[in-house]
């Protein structure tokens, strides 16, 4: 087969440019034939591999398609190799080794009946966290026959949805089950974007595994794939059910709370299990020599535990800033021009960056078309924000983070405090606590989000426009919440963004904040075997803990986290048999 790239198709031909089954006739096949310089009759079939929108000329928007092409005469394919044409190899599933023997006594029903004793098998790996890294690591290990024990401090999707609804309506925060913690991780309450800037060998496998679990088939060919906050929960549940069907165990409301080592190697872990209301806690020690630690970037108590138990942690640069919200119609007009209402396009997105603002780089992140801003608090007395949107992206607002990079020199305190691996956590927490207090002092209710019109932030005193935030907003001066250098950088960047995207700095824009959890402020160092080590040991002496994903400092989004989960699981399995 051949792979043909750069095939231009009109917006009106949207239905002919969709992936899925191969087609044997139609406008796309004719367009591919024109690119190849052959008659359409010489092509047996065409299948869309990737489709994007070229909006560089607003007067002539069109689709750009890459396609797999099968010729009637296969032997002619070599003659056509050249510019825009290459050989194509269809997707092949990930090769997963089989464990030497299937672990016994691993059914989920045995856990409540026999407490956690049924799970105590030294060769059984434990996975902490059910975000993308943890889920994909656990699913790989389950498919390899290793019957992982999976721990999630938060609730299942259903319990978690109820906890988030209660928080939005009444401000009752469950610190273990919320927008940050629970089945699926922080990504469950997000846009479900599956884009990544990294070229990773596991990317295609992640997309196919998501699709197998029920994600929209568009993710396999859309240039900007996303699952959506309305569809992602069912996908996560399907993955959990497969893990259980293959002999794994998934425990909700169960948190890793301690570690024991012998001779520099992990020996046991302590689990604390809560009831759904969080009012009753029981603890158990479980034998464990292999632990995939995919705890997420908000698991600050876990970072503290690792530091106390002597693991090598490092500071990691991260970003803080604000969330910006616009009418989606404004973004559509800016990106699509006269085609803004074309039914083939849907909601437009953007990605912006400028450099040198107050000596910093400022960029947009986690853009959610047709979505809403959420209060994503996970600690009492602190506020942080995030964005989410459904698969259809049909809401009236668009939002994105506007972020400024920070590092150890920004954290303040003594030289010792600045050198502390957890200094970034304290930096985040101070901002979040200032936001909580500012909201209350301005007359808001607990966890209502501080907000300010873009004009007011820049000095014109205008009132905040309406917002999508379910918890509600409170007019505040955001410059009282964020460090001065962050505000100065954003203020300088906003007009520059407006030059790139007309209307970005308009009076219709609303700023909400703060945004502090874009990535982890900590890296759990790991060696070439993907294992962490104790400070008293050398780098080469892995301790049996495999850090993975965003929280460990090795990813920055659903795709990169899922890929890292697979990478770590492959390493663990290869060292096990």
Mean pLDDT, residues 543-567 taken together: 96
Quote the domain boundaries for residue 483.
Answer: 317-515
Mean pLDDT, residues 402-423 taken together: 88
Residue 108 inside a domain? The answer is no
Share of residues in the chain with pLDDT > 90 (%)? 83
Residue 100 inside a domain? The answer is no
| Separation between Cα atoms, residue 329 and residue 370, nearest integer Å | 9
- Do 216 and 80 sit in the same domain of this protein? no
| Separation between Cα atoms, residue 193 and residue 190, nearest integer Å | 8
- Do 332 and 304 sit in the same domain of this protein? no
- Do 323 and 466 sit in the same domain of this protein? yes
| Separation between Cα atoms, residue 258 and residue 252, nearest integer Å | 17
DSSP string, 172-227: ---TTSSSSSSTTGGGGGS--B---SS--TTHHHHHHHHHHTT--GGGGTBSS-B-
Confidence of residue 110 (pLDDT cuts 50, 70, 90): very low
Tell me the per-residue pLDDT of 177-219, one tens digit each, with 9 for 90 and over: 999 999 999 988 888 899 887 788 999 999 999 999 999 999 9
How many Cβ atoms from other residues are within 10 Å of residue 498's Cβ?
Answer: 17
Mean pLDDT, residues 560-568 taken together: 97
Report pTM: 0.94
| Chain-centre distance for alpha carbon 70 | 36
Residue 372 inside a domain? The answer is yes
- Do 246 and 132 sit in the same domain of this protein? yes
Residue 93 inside a domain? The answer is no
pLDDT at 224 over 90: yes
Share of residues in the chain with pLDDT > 70 (%)? 95
- Do 71 and 138 sit in the same domain of this protein? no
Tell me the per-residue pLDDT of 279-307, one tens digit each, with 9 for 90 and over: 678 999 999 999 999 999 999 999 999 99
Q: How many domains does the chain have?
A: 3
Choose among 62, 61, 9: nearest CA to 35: 9
Q: Single out the residue in 465, 484, 515 at which a domain terminates.
A: 515
Structure tokens at 544: 């049996």
Question: Torsion-angle region of residue 296: left (phi > 0), alpha (psi -120 to 50) or beta?
Answer: left
The residues pairing with 153 across neighbouring beta strands, listed in sequence order, are: none
DSSP designation for 520: -
**Is 82 strand, coil or helix?**
strand
Runs of H (alpha helix) within 465-557: 484-500
DSSP designation for 246: T
Q: In terms of C-beta density within 10 A (0-12 exposed, 13-18 middle, 19 or more buried), how is residue 287 classed?
A: middle
Average pLDDT of the chain, as a whole number: 92
Tell me the per-residue pLDDT of 49-59, one tens digit each, with 9 for 90 and over: 999 999 999 88
Residue 98 inside a domain? The answer is no
């Amino acid at each position: 087969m051949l792979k043909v790239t750069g095939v231009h198709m009109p917006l009106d031909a949207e239905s002919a440019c969709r992936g899925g089954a191969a087609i044997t006739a139609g406008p796309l096949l004719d367009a591919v034939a024109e690119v190849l310089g052959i008659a359409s009759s010489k092509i047996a079939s065409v299948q869309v591999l990737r489709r994007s929108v070229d909006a560089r000329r607003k007067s002539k928007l069109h689709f750009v398609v890459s396609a797999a092409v099968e010729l009637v005469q296969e032997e002619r394919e070599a003659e056509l190799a050249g510019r825009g044409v290459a050989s194509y190899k269809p997707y092949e599933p990930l090769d997963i080794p089989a464990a030497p023997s299937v672990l016994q006594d691993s059914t989920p029903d045995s856990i409540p009946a026999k407490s956690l004793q049924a799970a105590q098998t030294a060769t059984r790996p434990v996975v902490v966290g059910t975000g993308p890294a943890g889920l994909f690591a656990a699913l790989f290990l389950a498919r390899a026959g290793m019957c992982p024990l999976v721990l999630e401090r938060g609730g299942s999707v259903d319990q978690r949805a109820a906890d988030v609804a209660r928080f939005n309506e009444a401000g009752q925060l469950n610190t273990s089950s919320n927008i940050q913690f629970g089945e699926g991780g922080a990504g469950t309450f997000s846009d479900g974007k599956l884009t990544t800037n990294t070229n990773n060998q596991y990317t295609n496998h992640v997309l196919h595994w998501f699709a197998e679990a029920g994600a929209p088939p568009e993710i396999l060919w859309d240039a900007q794939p996303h699952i959506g906050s309305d569809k992602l929960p069912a996908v996560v549940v399907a993955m959990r059910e497969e893990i259980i069907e293959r002999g794994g165990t998934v425990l909700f409301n169960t948190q890793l709370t301690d570690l024991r080592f012998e001779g520099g190697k992990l020996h046991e872990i302590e689990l604390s299990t809560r009831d759904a209301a969080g009012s009753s806690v029981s603890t158990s020690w479980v034998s464990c020599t292999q632990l995939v630690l995919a705890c997420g970037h908000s698991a600050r108590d876990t970072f503290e535990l690792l530091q106390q138990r002597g693991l090598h942690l490092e500071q990691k640069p991260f970003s803080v800033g604000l969330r910006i919200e616009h009418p989606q119609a404004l973004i559509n007009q800016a990106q699509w021009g006269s085609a803004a209402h074309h039914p083939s396009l849907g909601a437009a997105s953007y990605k912006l960056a400028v450099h040198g603002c107050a000596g910093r780089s400022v960029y947009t992140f986690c853009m959610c078309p047709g979505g809403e801003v959420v209060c994503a608090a996970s600690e009492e007395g602190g506020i942080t924000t995030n964005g989410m949107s459904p698969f259809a992206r049909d809401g009236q607002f668009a939002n994105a983070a506007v972020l400024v990079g920070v590092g150890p020199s920004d954290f303040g305190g003594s030289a010792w405090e600045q050198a502390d691996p957890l200094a970034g956590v304290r930096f985040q927490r101070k901002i979040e606590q200032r936001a909580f207090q500012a909201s209350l002092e301005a007359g808001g209710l607990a966890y209502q989000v501080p907000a300010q019109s873009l004009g007011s932030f820049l000095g014109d005193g205008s009132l905040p426009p309406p917002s999508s935030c379910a918890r509600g907003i409170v007019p505040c001066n955001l410059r009282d919440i964020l460090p001065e250098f962050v505000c100065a950088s954003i203020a300088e960047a906003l007009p520059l963004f407006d030059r790139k995207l007309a209307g970005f700095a308009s009076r219709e824009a609303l700023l909400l904040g703060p945004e502090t959890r874009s990535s982890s402020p900590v890296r759990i160092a790991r060696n070439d075997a993907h294992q962490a080590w104790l400070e008293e040991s050398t780098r080469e002496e892995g301790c049996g803990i495999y850090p993975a994903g965003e929280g460990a400092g090795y990813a920055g989004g659903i795709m990169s986290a899922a890929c890292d989960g697979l990478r770590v699981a492959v390493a663990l399995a290869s060292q096990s048999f």
